[in-house]
Amino acid sequence: MMSTARHSPLRSLAAHGILLGYTLIALFPVFVIVVNSFKNRRAIFADPLALPSAETFDLVGYKTVLAQGDFLQYFLNSMTVTVASLFFVLLFGAMAAFALSEYRFRGNLLMGLYLALGIMIPIRLGTVAILQLMVASGLVNTLTALILVYTAQGLPLAVFILSEFMRGVSADLKDAGRIDGLSEYRIFFRLVLPLVRPAMATVAVFTMIPIWNDLWFPLILAPSEATKTITLGSQVFIGQFVTNWNAVLAALGLAIVPVLVLYLIFSRQLIRGITAGAVK
């Protein structure tokens, strides 16, 4: 739509205006949390939008938070769970999506519907049975339990999106590979996977977010001090320090920073992935 943009400065100005406006809306609440977490109590109430100045600057919130919980441990737990689940979701999901989109076999449609079922139903509905299963297999209060649950939770969407994208991969290319004597596994790993990288990056981001932010399963399956995730840790903390606004804002600030850094790292991959896929 913007092909004429290069000729029309007005059009590009309008585009920047809209995008910049929306960016401000998107970032404003984050700004509020971060700015106020560095101010003393009185300044938070007197002028919530002001930047911390020499006299209102105060780290008391962060000091309270760091004195309380083991936030580094929580962070490592969240990282382990998220990265491991993401790996399994992407690998298993892409393999299944390839089987569904590439081969005609009996039960293909049925299998596709079966796997897509999981998009429609929140895995939470099965929580009681999952808890019983984890108790029976001795996985309660381990990160493995969370990784298993999140892998199952992420797979349906991954299969759905990836098979949608894999249907768009040219059949000629794969047939050329077969004529050259590549095995089906090589066709998958060498030809198809690189071509669906934008979709993989997209799936990665969408899978990562609900895992990182989940409160439910950490609370039920792994609430022990050694396995707490950072979301559970900060929620527990907010519950205990409801009226201590400095501490709550600092805890929220600390909960934002790691996922923000993680996202910025991934988003560079995401951008590279998307553009690499678009250049043909």
- Verify binding: residue 176, other proteins, rule CB under 8 A: no
* Element holding 191 (H helix, E strand): none
C-alpha 228/C-alpha 209 separation (Å) is: 17
Shortest Cβ distance from residue 3 to other proteins (Å)? Answer: 5
The three-class DSSP label of residue 122 is: coil
Helix 143-166 to helix 108-120 angle, to the nearest 10 degrees?
Answer: 130
DSSP 241: T
- Verify binding: residue 271, other proteins, rule CB under 8 A: yes
Over the window 123 to 142, marking each residue x when it contacts other proteins by CB under 8 A and - when it does not, the resulting string is xxxxxxxx--x---------
- Taken as a whole, the chain contains a residue count of 280
Contact 196/94 with Cβ under 8 angstroms? Answer: yes
- Verify binding: residue 84, other proteins, rule CB under 8 A: no
Q: Which is nearer to other proteins, 240 or 267 (CB)?
A: 267
- Verify binding: residue 256, other proteins, rule CB under 8 A: yes
- Verify binding: residue 85, other proteins, rule CB under 8 A: no
Stretch 8-47 residues interacting with other proteins (CB under 8 A): 12, 15-16, 18-20, 22-23, 25-27, 29-30, 32-33, 45
- Verify binding: residue 74, other proteins, rule CB under 8 A: no
Would you state the torsion angle of the CA atoms of residues 134, 139, 144, 148, taken in this order, to the nearest 10 degrees?
-10
The three-class DSSP label of residue 56 is: coil
Q: Tell me which of 54, 67, 179, 264 binds other proteins, using CB under 8 A.
A: 264
Q: Tell me which of 50, 215, 226, 257 binds other proteins, using CB under 8 A.
A: 215
Q: Which is nearer to other proteins, 2 or 67 (CB)?
A: 2
